[in-house]
Chain A
Amino acid sequence: MIWNETIECMDREEMRKLQSLRLKRVVEHAYHNSPFYRKKMQEMGITPDDVQTIDDITKLPFTVKQDLRDNYPFGLMAVPMSEIVRLHASSGTTGKPIVVGYTRKDLGIWAEVVARCLTAYGLTRNDSVQVSYGYGMFTGGLGAHCGVENIGGTVIPMSSGNTQKQIQLMHDFGAKGLACTPSYALYLAETIHQSGIPLEEFQLRVGAFGAEPWTENMRKELEAKLNIKAYDIYGLTEICGPGVGGECECQNGTHLWEDHFFPEIVDPKTLRPVEPGQVGELVFTTLTKEGMPMLRYRTRDLTSLTYEKCACGRTAVRMGRILGRSDDMLIIRGVNVFPSQVESVILELPEFEAHYLIVVDRVNNTDTFQIQVEVRQEYYSDEINKMIALKKKIASRMQSVIGLQPDIKIVEPRSIERSMGKAKHVIDKRKLV
């Protein structure tokens, strides 16, 4: 099933025309209404007149996550705040989140693109969908929510957590779709098996999983354990939230809704476009966003694009699996974690040495997040309670900065490897690729 056939199956030449038109419009909007982008463009000596077709996009400046932090909270809004009807935010370094704002029209487009994804997964107005992404500042919950409403389905707005209740309602309400992170879906699957309720009593057929990278193996496991088809939903807060793209029934790449979010793949070092089909960093330009337009936003996700027509009939460009990051960001239980955040907490606490090691693993389908730290000689206590208090102190500080509680392991002095070159701060044992 296709939600918006005109767009999703549009002739590629037509799509380029539409993209050219919209790019001109968004560049003008950004130039005239966003002091940030006007300054950036002036520094590069370009004006909106330099952008005539979509090919001219390479003339435009890039935007990076730091730009969002530097302009916290509302510096990148390109409309008066009276036009902003919703804010979302995600965690960032130094505890300052990045903030995005949506106009009413932006929210409409968001609901449109999520509707395209859900329809591609085979969900209709006759189906109920349990939204088990977190609701709140995180875009996952409300993004999926609006999409389900848009297709006329029934939303079960569970949010995350409370796993027993999740299973009970999923069972009793006959949810056909489940939207959550793939790792939480695996946890739900296991809890269902432990509950003893026969899988046949559930109506679940479709999983819309995203917000963290996952693999074909996880897909197979989820499909077998929940007796569903598991589909990727891709998105990022800076661009829109979930729904920037989604898989179709072919499960052969994630269709990106390029009439709203124009994708490029660039070499993360030279920032020049790569050859078609090559792996590089994914960059998005929002073609229709009013509230907070983004020009050439560097996602740091490494992937490739294919423009071949899909067997499902869609011509919309497809993105391969996310193969990694061009920076050191980790995604742990759906939360973005930068080693620099961990470092900033350690450096501000005098009790700890500056050396640390982050160990990430996946045990029973849940990410584990351990930080090994060394205590400075004078702070080692002969009392267990004081050592535990030190652990708690750093763990709660990490929680408030990162938004995720790590398991703190105090190790013996100088047992963390000292490196002569670039220190190795992360061991990621998860097998994702």
Chain B
Amino acid sequence: MLIKQLSIFLENKKGRFTEVAKILGEAGVNMSAFTVAENSDFGILRLIVSDTEKAISVLREKLYAVSVADVVCLHCPNQPGALAKAMDIITSAGIFIEYMYAFSQGDAANVIIRPDDINKCAEVLKANKLELIAASDLYKL
């Protein structure tokens, strides 16, 4: 249930993200989800793609600093209180969240979570009957 997420270090310069999008596009790699964390002089682009290995190889070829991290994707109803319930379970288990981002589609919402202890996080969510999306499914979204 673990998903490979790419992180790309980008300087805060005009056109950097555009270039990454182009490189992936030309390689036929699709982006399922992404988020950018930034500070004053650099940003970190985190993204989940259809073909992780291929994305890494084309980006590294262009000298980008790419790292890979495991994340989980929680699938929950797109309604008030649903996220609070899931968060409560994670927090009660003593798991710390490094960062997270989300997107919703109609009745459903997908929350990508990077916890400090990913295996434990996946376990407690499953034990509490919460649905985790498999990588292959997420790429299809």
Contact = CB atoms under 8 A, between A and B. Distances in A.
A163 interface: no
A60 to B, nearest CB: 51
Interface stretch (A65-73, A169-177, A210-218, A377-385): A377-385
B44 A413 contact: no
B9 interface: yes
Contacts of A388: 39
A417 B65 CA distance: 17
A380 B9 contact: yes
Most buried by B among A377, A382, A384, A414: A382
A382 B70 CA distance: 11
B42 to A, nearest CB: 6
B46 A382 contact: yes
Nearest to B9: A380
B37 interface: yes
B63 A413 contact: yes
A163 B94 CA distance: 48
Contacts of B11: 411-412, 415
Contact of A410 (B38, B42, B67): B42
B139 interface: no
A412 B37 contact: no
A330 interface: no
B101 interface: no
Given A375-B65, A412-B65, A384 B9 contact: no
A310 interface: no
Given A411-B11, A412-B10, A383 B65 contact: no
B7 interface: yes
- Give the interface size bracket for A toward B: 10 to 19
A222 B141 CA distance: 65
A87 interface: no
A377 B46 CA distance: 16
Nearest to B114: A382
B63 A414 contact: yes
Contact of A412 (B63, B69, B98): B63
A137 interface: no
Interface string B73-89: 00000000000000000
Most buried by A among B5, B38, B63, B65: B65
A410 B46 contact: no
A86 B58 CA distance: 63
A387 B46 CA distance: 14
B9 A387 contact: yes
A26 B38 CA distance: 62
Given A411-B11, A412-B9, A412-B11, A384 B65 contact: no
A415 B64 CA distance: 10
A409 interface: yes
B137 interface: no
Interface of B: 5, 7, 9-11, 37-39, 41-42, 44, 46, 63-67, 69, 98-99, 114
26 contacts: A375-B9, A375-B65, A380-B7, A380-B9, A380-B65, A380-B66, A381-B7, A382-B44, A382-B114, A383-B99, A384-B37, A384-B38, A384-B39, A384-B44, A387-B9, A387-B42, A387-B44, A388-B39, A410-B9, A410-B41, A412-B9, A412-B63, A413-B9, A413-B63, A413-B64, A414-B63
Given A387-B9, A414-B63, 19 more contacts: A375-B9, A375-B65, A380-B66, A382-B7, A382-B44, A382-B114, A383-B99, A384-B37, A384-B44, A387-B42, A387-B44, A410-B9, A410-B41, A410-B42, A412-B65, A413-B9, A413-B63, A413-B64, A413-B65
Please give me the 5 A-B residue pairs with the lowest Cβ-Cβ distance, nearest first.
Answer: A382-B7, A380-B65, A414-B63, A380-B9, A413-B65
